[in-house]
């Protein structure tokens, strides 16, 4: 599929004219489509980014699924199920978007299961009380939206289009999360304590979702030039903080950062230093739930092997019987 | 009538809860989505039916009160739906049994003399018709797939078959409702259900297990040991933090 799109040369020996023409298209805000020529490094960057994004959606089902069977009301259970289903659907679009670049879903999935491919560090944190489901929607999906709204204008067509649809659903997710937080923060003292505990644990990991600080972001500058990324990690993080702090104030919850302060001159909040050691550690596989999340994905894949084999065997039998009928005819 | 609606509601609530346990753990992504989506539809039916049950009860109870504050003896579901998910063959065979049942049930109830029940049945029929298409396809795939899938499906059949009889249990109360045109006749349901399921089984190498044991008791609140554990999980927040808004 899309093999035409694979004719670009290896990185380093690409004709200067092609590279210049490619950059000119990007500069004119033209979308790059699967069959278009593209630099090998552009393709590689996109496969890495889109597949990581897809993996995040799939692994991200797990911390929320942890509360589906314990959701406190029928309405909450239905909303949470619908939301997780959306996330799995996002995984599907994104794998499809990455496939247009010539990478198979099987290869991407094998890379996830072998630990070669990464997914968002946030999903390696546990959901310990019901307010965490609120915090995941409000903070985690809120942070994801900041990133993804920017990606709606990314230069690669299929990625950009999938983001438009995903963003619509994510904004619903963010709202339902905030609604849970409102109920919890304005509920009984015990509910409020759960809400505060949730923000205490999720605030910093949510800020880490934007990736390393600009000065330490290895892929950023080329990605900005190719308009894969439209804003820097730090800019998006700042935008998120500025939007979220007033929401926390409305909830009457304390953000766990004693250095957080409104700068009257800029209208933005200054914040304390992010614990980048923790970020690197979680990315490396040493977060509280890395092992558990991967074990769950590997188990599902392994337990499902006989199901996939049966479906394939049946499809083959059907095909054979169709072929035989054709021959007889 | 309250008991009847409770039976229908609890069948869907407990089945939906079981299916929700698959969320994030399906054999592949599309199937993970399908399992979650089926759970979502069925829990939606549970919500409508519990609303109707609460209305009939008429003491100010809500659908959530019925779902989260009844003990096991108050639940009137068939024991089949509370059986553990087991492997994918168990889950899908249970689903197939329930889908065939629900299609026939809702087809009849769409013409119920109780307007609210008829409306719920009409809406639900669209969903379960689609569920049945999917579970039928899986029954074909597993029954004609690999040796392993056939063995697993036979194991599931051996374990689950004895729970299906409870779907068609008769009672005087139910007879009255059938006479009034409110409920579906269990004898009629049994004839149609068996015809469909046995037609499918006849096209496979699967055999119906022979034993005299039949599950019973769910409709009177006497369940398997699994239900109490499911309720511990499902009702945890409402029990640990009573009278909260969520």
Query: Which residues on chain A are in Cβ contact (under 8 Å) with B39?
Result: 81
A285 and A115 in contact (C-beta within 8 Å)? yes
Q: Is residue A284 less than 8 Å (CB to CB) from chain B?
A: no
Report yes or no on B138 lying in a domain: yes
- Comparing CA positions, the residue from B91, B93, B89, B54 lying closest to residue B70 is B54
**B149/A306 touch (CB, cutoff 8 Å), yes or no:** yes
**A306/B152 touch (CB, cutoff 8 Å), yes or no:** yes
Domain that holds residue B63: 2-240
Query: Which residues on chain A are in Cβ contact (under 8 Å) with B237?
Result: 70-72, 130
Distance of CA A197 to the CA centre of its chain: 24
Domain count, chain B: 1
A23: closest CA of chain B, how far (Å): 36
Q: What is the pLDDT of residue A11?
A: 56
Report yes or no on B245 lying in a domain: no
A310: nearest CB among B33, B44, B145: B145
Q: Is residue A72 less than 8 Å (CB to CB) from chain B?
A: yes
Backbone angles phi, psi at B208, to 5 degrees: -75, 130
Strand partners, A263: A268
Residue A69 predicted with pLDDT over 90: yes
B159 and B141 in contact (C-beta within 8 Å)? no
B108 and B174 in contact (C-beta within 8 Å)? no
Distance spanning both ends of chain B, measured CA to CA: 30
Give the global pTM: 0.94
**B32/A311 touch (CB, cutoff 8 Å), yes or no:** no
Q: What is the pLDDT of residue B85?
A: 97
Structure letter (DSSP) for residue A8: P
Mean pLDDT of chain A: 92
Backbone angles phi, psi at A270, to 5 degrees: -95, 150
CA atoms within 13 A on the CB side of A152: 12
Tokens of A154: 């990314």
Report yes or no on B228 lying in a domain: yes
Tokens of A50: 């889109």
pLDDT digits (tens, 9 = 90+) for A225-265: 888 888 889 999 999 999 999 999 999 999 999 999 999 99
User: Which of helix, strand or coil describes residue B183?
Assistant: coil
Parts of chain B with a pLDDT under 50: none
Report yes or no on B246 lying in a domain: no
Residue A1 predicted with pLDDT over 50: no
pLDDT digits (tens, 9 = 90+) for A193-232: 999 999 999 999 999 999 999 888 766 788 888 888 888 8
Report yes or no on B89 lying in a domain: yes
Tokens of A101: 């670049």
Q: What is the pLDDT of residue A219?
A: 65
Residue A328 predicted with pLDDT over 80: no
**Separation of alpha carbons A157 and A163, rounded Å:** 10
A88-103 burial, b at 16+ Cβ within 10 Å, e below that, comes to: bbbbbbbbebbbbbbb
A79: closest CA of chain B, how far (Å): 9
Distance of CA A148 to the CA centre of its chain: 9
B7 and B16 in contact (C-beta within 8 Å)? no
Tokens of A267: 């209208």
A39: closest CA of chain B, how far (Å): 31
| DSSP of A260-313 | -EEETTTTEEE-PPP-HHHHHHIIIIISTTHHHHHHHHHHHHHHTHHHHHHHHH
**A313/B146 touch (CB, cutoff 8 Å), yes or no:** yes
Q: What is the pLDDT of residue A7?
A: 44
Query: Which residues on chain B are in Cβ contact (under 8 Å) with A188?
Result: 241, 244
- What CATH number has the domain bearing residue B200? 1.20.1260.10
Distance of CA A280 to the CA centre of its chain: 18
Report yes or no on B204 lying in a domain: yes
Which residues does B129 contact at the CB level (< 8 Å), separation at least 6? B103
CA atoms within 13 A on the CB side of A9: 8
Between A and B, how many residue pairs show a Cβ–Cβ distance under 8 A?
135
Greatest CA span in chain B, whole angstroms? 55
Q: Residues 123-142, chain A: which have Cβ within 8 Å of B?
A: 130
* Helix/strand/coil (H/E/C) assignment for every residue in A40-93: HHHHHHHHHHHHHHHHHHHHCHHHHHCCHHHCCCHHHHHHHHHHHHHHHHHHHH
Percent of chain B residues topping a pLDDT of 70: 100
Greatest CA span in chain A, whole angstroms? 83
Residue A94 predicted with pLDDT over 50: yes
């Amino acid at each position: 599929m899309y093999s035409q799109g694979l004719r670009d040369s290896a990185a380093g020996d690409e004709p200067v004219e092609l590279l210049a023409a490619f950059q000119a298209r990007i500069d004119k805000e033209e979308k790059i489509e699967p069959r278009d020529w593209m630099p090998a490094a552009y393709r590689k960057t996109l496969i890495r980014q889109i597949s990581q994004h897809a993996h995040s959606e799939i692994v991200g089902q797990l911390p929320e699924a942890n509360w589906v069977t314990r959701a406190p009301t029928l309405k909450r259970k239905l909303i949470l199920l619908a939301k997780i289903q959306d996330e799995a659907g996002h995984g599907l679009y994104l794998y499809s978007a990455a496939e247009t670049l010539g990478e198979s879903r099987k290869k991407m999935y094998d890379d996830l299961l072998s630990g070669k491919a990464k997914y968002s560090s946030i999903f390696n944190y546990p959901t310990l009380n019901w307010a965490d489901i609120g915090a995941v929607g409000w903070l985690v999906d809120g942070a994801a939206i900041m990133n993804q709204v920017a990606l709606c204008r990314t230069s690669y067509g299929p990625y950009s289009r999938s983001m438009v649809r995903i963003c619509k659903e994510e904004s619903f997710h963010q709202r339902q999360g905030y609604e849970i937080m409102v109920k919890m923060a304005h509920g009984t003292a015990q509910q409020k304590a759960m809400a505060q505990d949730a923000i205490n644990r999720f605030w910093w990991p949510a800020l880490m979702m934007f990736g390393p600080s600009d000065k330490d972001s290895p892929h950023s500058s080329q990605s900005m030039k190719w308009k894969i990324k439209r804003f820097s990690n730090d800019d998006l993080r700042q935008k998120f903080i500025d939007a979220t702090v007033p929401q926390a104030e409305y909830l009457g919850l304390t953000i766990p950062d004693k250095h957080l302060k409104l700068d009257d001159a800029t209208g933005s909040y200054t914040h304390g230093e992010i614990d980048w050691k923790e970020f690197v550690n979680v990315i490396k596989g040493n977060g509280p739930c890395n092992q558990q999340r991967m074990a769950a994905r590997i188990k599902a894949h392994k337990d499902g092997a006989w199901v996939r084999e049966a479906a394939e065997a049946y499809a083959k039998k059907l095909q054979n019987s169709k072929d035989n009928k054709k021959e007889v005819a | 009538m309250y008991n009847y609606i409770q039976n229908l509601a609890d069948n869907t609530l407990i089945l939906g809860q079981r299916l929700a346990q698959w969320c994030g753990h399906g054999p592949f992504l599309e199937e993970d989505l399908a399992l979650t989506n089926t759970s979502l539809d069925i829990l939606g039916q549970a919500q409508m039916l519990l609303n109707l049950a609460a209305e009939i009860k008429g003491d100010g109870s809500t659908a959530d009160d019925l779902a989260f504050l009844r003990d096991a003896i108050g639940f009137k579901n068939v024991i089949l739906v509370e059986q553990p998910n087991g492997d994918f063959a168990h889950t899908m065979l249970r689903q197939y049994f329930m889908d065939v049942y629900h299609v026939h049930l809702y087809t009849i109830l769409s013409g119920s003399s109780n307007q609210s029940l008829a409306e719920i049945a009409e809406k639900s029929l669209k969903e379960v018709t689609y569920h049945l298409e999917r579970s039928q396809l899986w029954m074909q795939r597993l029954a004609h797939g690999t040796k392993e899938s056939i063995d697993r499906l036979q194991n599931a059949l051996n374990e689950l078959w004895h729970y299906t009889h409870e779907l068609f249990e008769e009672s005087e109360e139910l007879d009255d409702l059938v006479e009034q045109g409110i409920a579906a006749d269990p004898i009629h349901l049994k004839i149609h259900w068996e015809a469909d399921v046995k037609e499918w089984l006849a096209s496979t190498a699967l055999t119906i297990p022979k034993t005299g044991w039949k599950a019973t008791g769910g409709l009177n609140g006497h369940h398997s040991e699994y239900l109490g554990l499911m309720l511990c999980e499902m009702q945890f927040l409402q029990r640990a933090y009573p009278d909260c808004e969520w």
